[in-house]
């Protein structure tokens, strides 16, 4: 490996050629740096964990969400058409359909985001940082499967330039970059990320009428293979949408009462994630596996996760006891079956750059996100999913929380010093 590193380094452009040098440095760092680990007994620090390895751990933890989200895109599409409605029926079609939808989103996200990072690194003359690895992995998972790519491009440019580079780059941003991209879409183009018509891919709406869109060349390119294997193809079936089809998510249905939710989806469907929604936010068990991985490895704070859970449960119980049923009258524990709480808790709230850094502050920060998210969800009919706004709000207050935690600690120590001196 060391010999290969030395051979590759010979091709490094001079620093005077800023763009080429930055481009080479970025790829070299991604492939080869760091190429050492701590060895031998007798050392105090026993790892070489750096920013890249930390970011890669988060990306690995997201892979189950990618796998399930890709398959669920195809499953929801065919359920809407009344075809292959069993979850494990026509697996090949659902996987291919999901890949055709998610790959352009993934590619555009990274080309735009990394392109901006490369540009700013070259202009400033510093190495490319790995911060966008996680943001680039998160953004596709929190978008609807039919998001227009030009809107996605604008959202990523807005988030990276104004939310990150304007504050100094990786590690300097005040709010979560992935959530900033989502909030841009929500406020600038609300119909593409809210309502009942954006969560199931491949359905055209004309007023109250809904029909399946025509399959493109990419879909039919696989038909010759499936035909040869005697498998079902995209060319089979019509474009008519199944009777009783609704593109509404359980969260949207919950605004009309829990009975309305269970009329369309079972609790197990909601728990396992075979429901419409953002690409990677539906399967709770797979998200929990990723959360446990991050907590056990120490990449994400378990204090924030647990306090988020307590905050959400506490506020949901308060609303149940209060009898506040104007918008969302559901048992408190079913709040954890609907919406994107688990994804927000595991991968958004725990962002080490924008979260509180003190241990006490993490408890306050997480509890605030959980409680505030439920308040927004229950009391705001226009926006029943409150985690995006709750996390961004607490991102802004995280430095203030840490300031008062540290100040309280300083005051306690000063009192002890005065008592000893006295």
In Å, how far from its chain's centre is CA 307?
19
pLDDT above 50: residue 118 = yes
CA-wise closest residue to 261 among 384, 345, 145:
384
| Upstream peptide bond of 107 is cis (omega within 30 degrees of 0) | no
Q: Quick one: angle between helices 18-32 and 2-9, nearest 10?
A: 170
Measured in degrees and rounded to the nearest 5, phi and psi for residue 275 equal -140, 160
Query: For 71-100, how does the pLDDT look when each residue is reduced to its tens digit (9 = 90+)?
Result: 999 999 999 988 899 999 999 999 999 999
pLDDT value, residue 355 = 93
Query: For 366-412, how does the pLDDT look when each residue is reduced to its tens digit (9 = 90+)?
Result: 999 999 999 998 888 777 788 999 999 999 999 999 999 999 999 99
pLDDT value, residue 43 = 47
Collect contacts of 270-276 with beta carbons under 8 A, ≥24 apart: 270/337, 270/338, 271/337, 273/68, 273/72, 274/72, 274/75, 274/87, 275/76, 275/249, 275/250, 276/76, 276/199, 276/200, 276/247, 276/248, 276/249
Q: What is the mean pLDDT of residues 134-153?
A: 94
Do residues 80 and 245 make contact, with C-beta atoms less than 8 angstroms apart? yes
In angstroms, the CA 363 to CA 343 distance is 18
Do residues 190 and 197 make contact, with C-beta atoms less than 8 angstroms apart? no
More confidently predicted of 386 and 63:
63
Q: What is the rounded (10 degree) CA torsion for 38, 44, 48, 49?
A: 150
Do residues 322 and 360 make contact, with C-beta atoms less than 8 angstroms apart? no
Query: For 315-359, how does the pLDDT look when each residue is reduced to its tens digit (9 = 90+)?
Result: 999 988 887 655 567 888 888 999 899 999 999 999 989 999 999
In angstroms, the CA 50 to CA 59 distance is 15
Query: For 202-239, how does the pLDDT look when each residue is reduced to its tens digit (9 = 90+)?
Result: 888 876 678 888 888 888 889 888 888 888 888 765 67
In angstroms, the CA 55 to CA 72 distance is 26
pLDDT value, residue 195 = 80
């Amino acid at each position: 490996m060391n010999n290969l590193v030395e051979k590759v380094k010979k091709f490094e452009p001079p620093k005077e050629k800023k763009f080429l040098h930055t481009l080479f440095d970025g790829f070299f760092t991604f492939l080869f740096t760091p190429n050492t680990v701590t060895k031998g007994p007798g050392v105090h620090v026993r790892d070489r964990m750096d920013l890249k390895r930390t970011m890669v751990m988060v990306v690995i933890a997201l892979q189950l969400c990618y796998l399930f989200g890709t398959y669920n895109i195809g499953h929801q599409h065919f359920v809407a058409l009344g075809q292959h409605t069993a979850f494990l029926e026509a697996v090949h079609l659902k996987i291919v359909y999901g890949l055709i939808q998610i790959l352009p989103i993934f590619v555009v996200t990274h080309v735009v985001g990394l392109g901006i990072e490369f540009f700013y690194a070259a202009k400033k003359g510093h190495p490319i940082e790995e911060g966008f690895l996680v943001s680039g992995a998160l953004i596709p998972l929190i978008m609807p499967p039919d998001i227009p790519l030009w809107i996605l491009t604008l959202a990523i440019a807005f988030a990276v330039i104004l939310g990150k580079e304007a504050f100094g780059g990786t590690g300097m941003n005040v709010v979560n970059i992935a959530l900033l991209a989502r909030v841009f879409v929500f406020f600038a183009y609300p119909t593409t990320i809210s309502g009942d018509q954006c969560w199931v891919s491949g359905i055209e709406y004309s007023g109250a009428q809904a029909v399946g869109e025509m399959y493109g060349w990419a879909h039919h390119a696989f038909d010759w293979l499936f035909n040869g294997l005697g498998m079902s193809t995209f060319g089979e079936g019509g474009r008519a949408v199944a009777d009783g089809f609704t593109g509404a998510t359980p969260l949207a249905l919950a605004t009309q009462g829990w009975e309305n939710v269970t009329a369309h989806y079972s609790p197990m469907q909601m728990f396992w994630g075979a429901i419409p929604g953002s690409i990677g936010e539906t399967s709770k068990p797979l998200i929990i596996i990723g959360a446990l991985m991050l907590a056990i490895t120490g990449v994400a704070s378990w204090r924030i996760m647990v306090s988020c859970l307590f905050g959400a449960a506490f506020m949901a119980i308060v609303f149940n006891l209060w009898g506040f049923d104007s918008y969302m009258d559901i048992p408190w524990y079913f709040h954890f079956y609907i919406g994107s709480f688990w994804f927000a808790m595991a991968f958004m709230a725990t962002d080490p750059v924008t979260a509180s850094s003190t241990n006490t502050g993490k408890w306050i920060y997480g509890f605030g996100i959980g409680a505030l998210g439920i308040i927004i969800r229950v009391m705001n009919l226009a926006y029943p999913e409150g985690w995006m706004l709750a996390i961004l709000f607490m991102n802004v207050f995280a430095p203030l929380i840490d300031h008062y935690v540290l100040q309280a600690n300083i005051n306690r120590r000063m009192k002890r010093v005065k008592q000893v001196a006295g």
